[in-house]
Amino acid sequence: MKRLISLPNILLLLGSLALAAPTFAQQYVVDVHGIVCEFCSYGVAKKVRKLDFIDPSQFDKGVKVDIEKQMVYIAVSDNAALDKSALFKAIESGGYKPVTLWRIAESGEKVEVQ
């Protein structure tokens, strides 16, 4: 009987798993004026989730709104580029004012995006 688990098969499996490994999203946060209730946060999140670069595997379908801090957290797929203009337009179309965009560094520190 032939053994199915040989060294070449294990190496092939490990190589396949490495190629199939998920990419981790880039995380950003936007300071937004005017978000004061759950209804507000729902509207903003719904509009932002429609953007092509949002990674729905992170947060709540790619977006998390913090009402108390008036911040919108977003996840951007590693293979996509953030479009700041489109992001701000999506937030503005909900009736809110995006102020500052920050990238969340691996250390957890916020770095302003120009």
The string of pLDDT tens digits covering residues 52-73 is: 999 999 999 999 999 999 999 9
Exposure string of 46-55, with b = 16+ CB inside 10 Å and e = fewer, is ebbbebebbb
Full-model pTM: 0.75
Between the two ends of the chain, the Cα-to-Cα distance in Å is: 64
**Over residues 14-21, mean pLDDT:** 46
**CATH numeric code, 23-113:** 3.30.70.100
For the chain, the farthest-separated pair of C-alpha atoms sits apart, in whole angstroms, at 70
Q: Which two tokens stand for residue 15?
A: 């190589």
Residue 4 has pLDDT above 70, yes or no: no
pLDDT recorded at residue 2: 55
Residue 77 has pLDDT above 80, yes or no: yes
Domain borders along the chain are 23-113
